[in-house]
Amino acid sequence: MAAGGVNPLSAVDWGAPWLEPWRLLGESLARRAVAHGGAVHTVLQSAAASNAVADRPVGFGPQSDLPAGTAYEQFIFDQRRVPTRDNLHDFFNGLVWLQFPEAKRRLNQLQAQAIAADGVQVVRGPLRDALTVFDENGAVLCAPPPLWDALRARDWHRLFVELRPLWGEARLVLFGHALMEKLVSPRKPMVAHVLSSPCALHSIANLDGWLATAIQAGTWASKPFVPLPVLGVPGWWPANAEPGFYDDAQVFRPPPLQRSGTGR
């Protein structure tokens, strides 16, 4: 999986707070992949076929399954099989398919419909772009209204400092597999594109069903997400307890109107 035979799955810290919802299944699959030479599609397929995750919408195969010139999303839609490389990116993608099968199927359905209507273009249209942004870097956040108000306003000091105790009532669940991959080597600027979720959804299965219903072509083309620097979340990164952590304007950026001064 990597030069020199080092398997990058060995570098995943499954104790990281952002991986808590993924640890039970993900850690066991990663260990099996490492033990069996890193064939990611093999361990994902065994999980998909097991009783523990029965009735999943797709299977997994090697990247060589994808014919040259065939769109990746279209292949998954037509064949119900995910071409998978032996790397962190595709491991986390498979893990999301296993945990959020209905939401992933809905994203794939809309991607395939857009490809059928418009073809594979050099630049994705607004809907496909939004679907890809969330698929790669999305998250869902259940939080009290004052936190959401501060987040939408990008009032970072209020969000993370003044309202810090309220984060004990919030729950942020990562969805984007590229974001999970990047967080294996955490850096302060990493951003999730966050969607508001109902706080009554306590299980991943219920969250999956809600998200699959929430993903709608008519509204998602406008990207109904809010950027959130994830390492600013209280309890997710020790450094954010230090004074001045949120003063970094290159990461915790003011709203566009404030940045431009006049808004023109």
Q: Exposed e or buried b for every residue in 190-216, given b needs 16+ CB within 10 A? A: bbbbbbbbeeebeeeeebbbbbbebbe
Domain boundary at 56, 91, 121, which?
A: 121
29 and 85 share one domain: yes
Burial class, 225, CB count within 10 angstroms (exposed 0-12 / middle 13-18 / buried 19+):
buried
Domain assignment present for 259: no
110 and 162 share one domain: no
Instruction: Give the per-residue pLDDT at 190.
Output: 98
* CB of 92 closer than 8 Å to CB of 12: no
Tokens standing for residue 59 = 């299977």
194 and 222 share one domain: yes
* CB of 58 closer than 8 Å to CB of 78: no
Tens digits of pLDDT across the chain (264 residues) = 544 567 899 999 999 999 999 999 999 999 999 988 878 999 999 999 885 555 567 999 999 999 998 999 999 999 999 999 999 999 999 999 999 999 999 999 999 999 888 766 656 788 999 999 999 999 999 999 999 999 999 999 999 999 999 999 999 999 999 999 999 999 999 999 999 999 888 899 999 999 999 999 889 989 999 999 999 999 999 999 998 999 999 999 988 765 544 443
When divided into structural domains, the chain yields a total of: 2
Instruction: Report the predicted TM-score, pTM, of the whole model to 2 decimal places.
Output: 0.92
Could you tell me the residue range of the domain that residue 68 belongs to? 13-121
Domain assignment present for 72: yes
Domain boundary at 121, 145, 174, which?
A: 121
156 and 111 share one domain: no
109 and 141 share one domain: no
Instruction: Give the per-residue pLDDT at 148.
Output: 97
Domain boundary at 62, 96, 121, which?
A: 121
236 and 199 share one domain: yes
Instruction: Give the per-residue pLDDT at 102.
Output: 95
164 and 200 share one domain: yes
Domain assignment present for 258: no
DSSP 8-state symbol, 100:
S
91 and 150 share one domain: no
